[in-house]
């Protein structure tokens, strides 16, 4: 089963502003949730969530499958996830190209070694997840601060996994920028290596500058100009694709978040006009 599509500019849903968002006329084109935070939620909160899924297109971005990890896949979670996605008509499901533990969760995203062996390992696990869910999933290029056992460039590793697993890509533009600063590579060259036909949607977010050569991917600040510029470059290279604003803490007023969503939309509109005039 191929899920229906999404379009436009989206926002990551947080419980603190869910009620405020429900009271507005549709202000975003789609919303994203971490399914682990909503599976099995009932009562008034569950009813409010159901009202939002009936009103907005939703995507789900997983936190704890640990696709690159050594422990067996959590089949109980996958079955619960399958039911949840279908119950709420979730349009897309994505996960991080990382791992988050072995015998237990560490609640952090750890880098997978960039090796051929790791490509085979993680691609097999992604294919199994897709078989269980009955749909293609997207994997997200993640931020990382060390590259243990590196034998391949990050872009080569990412592309090898996408091809071997035959899955989609959640393109995190902020992560490209963060990694380019932290690891000294050309963000534009990384973009150029992305297979356009794999992109399902994208993330933009803010980060924290620890030092001139060390950025921390926090999702706790506004998006900065170089990340907006990289998104603009991505649209120019690949065409417009659905893009979502992530903000996980230091949450401002909803109106400020919607202002950043409007920035996404304005860049999309400008590129759409250019495409029409070409």
| pLDDT tens profile 130-180 | 999 999 999 999 999 988 889 999 999 999 999 999 999 999 999 999 999
Total count of domains within the chain: 1
Whether 1 is in a domain gets the answer no
Q: Please tell me the predicted confidence (pLDDT) of residue 1.
A: 43
Q: Please tell me the predicted confidence (pLDDT) of residue 139.
A: 98
- The widest CA-to-CA distance across the chain, in whole angstroms, is 55
Structural element, H or E, at residue 233: helix 225-238
Q: In this structure, which long-range contacts are made by residues 42-49, counting pairs with CB atoms below 8 Å and at least 24 apart in sequence?
A: 45/15, 48/18, 48/19, 48/22, 49/18, 49/88
CA distance 3 to 39: 19
Q: Please tell me the predicted confidence (pLDDT) of residue 100.
A: 84
Whether 25 is in a domain gets the answer yes
Going by the DSSP 8-state scheme, the letter that residue 63 receives in this structure is S
- Model-level pTM? 0.94
C-alpha distances in Å from residue 67, one per residue of 1, 23, 258? 22, 37, 32
| pLDDT tens profile 171-223 | 999 999 999 999 999 999 999 999 999 999 999 999 999 999 999 999 999 99
CA distance 191 to 200: 15
Whether 3 is in a domain gets the answer no
C-alpha distances in Å from residue 182, one per residue of 99, 139, 177? 20, 21, 9
For residue 156, what are the domain limits? 9-277
The CATH number that applies at residue 151 is: 3.20.20.150
Whether 2 is in a domain gets the answer no
CA distance 269 to 264: 9
| pLDDT tens profile 42-56 | 999 999 999 999 999
| pLDDT tens profile 237-277 | 999 999 999 999 999 999 999 999 999 999 999 999 877 77
Whether 217 is in a domain gets the answer yes
CA distance 260 to 9: 10
């Amino acid at each position: 089963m191929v899920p229906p599509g999404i379009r436009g500019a989206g926002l990551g849903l947080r419980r603190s502003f869910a009620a405020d968002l429900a009271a507005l006329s549709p202000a975003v084109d789609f919303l994203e949730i971490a399914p682990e935070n909503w599976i099995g939620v009932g009562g008034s909160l569950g009813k409010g969530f159901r009202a939002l899924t009936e009103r907005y297109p939703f995507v789900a971005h997983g936190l704890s499958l640990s696709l690159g990890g050594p422990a067996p896949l959590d089949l109980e979670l996958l079955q619960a996830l399958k039911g949840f996605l279908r119950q709420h008509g979730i349009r897309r499901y994505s996960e991080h190209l990382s791992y988050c533990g072995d015998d237990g969760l560490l609640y952090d995203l750890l880098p997978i070694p960039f090796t051929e062996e790791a490509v085979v390992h993680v691609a097999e696990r992604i294919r199994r997840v897709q078989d269980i869910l009955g749909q293609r999933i997207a994997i997200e290029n993640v931020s990382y601060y060390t590259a243990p056992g590196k034998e391949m460039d990050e872009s080569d590793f990412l592309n090898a996994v996408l091809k071997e697993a035959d899955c989609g890509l959640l393109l995190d533009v902020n992560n490209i920028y963060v990694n380019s600063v932290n690891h000294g590579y050309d963000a534009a060259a990384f973009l150029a290596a992305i297979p356009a036909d794999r992109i399902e949607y994208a993330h933009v977010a803010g980060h924290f500058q620890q030092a001139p050569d060390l950025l921390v991917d926090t999702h706790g600040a506004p998006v900065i100009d170089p990340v907006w510029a990289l998104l603009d470059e991505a649209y120019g290279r690949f065409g417009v694709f659905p893009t979502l604003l992530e903000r996980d803490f230091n949450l401002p007023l909803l109106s400020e978040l919607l202002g950043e969503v409007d920035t996404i939309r304005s860049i999309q509109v400008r590129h759409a006009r250019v495409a029409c005039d070409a």
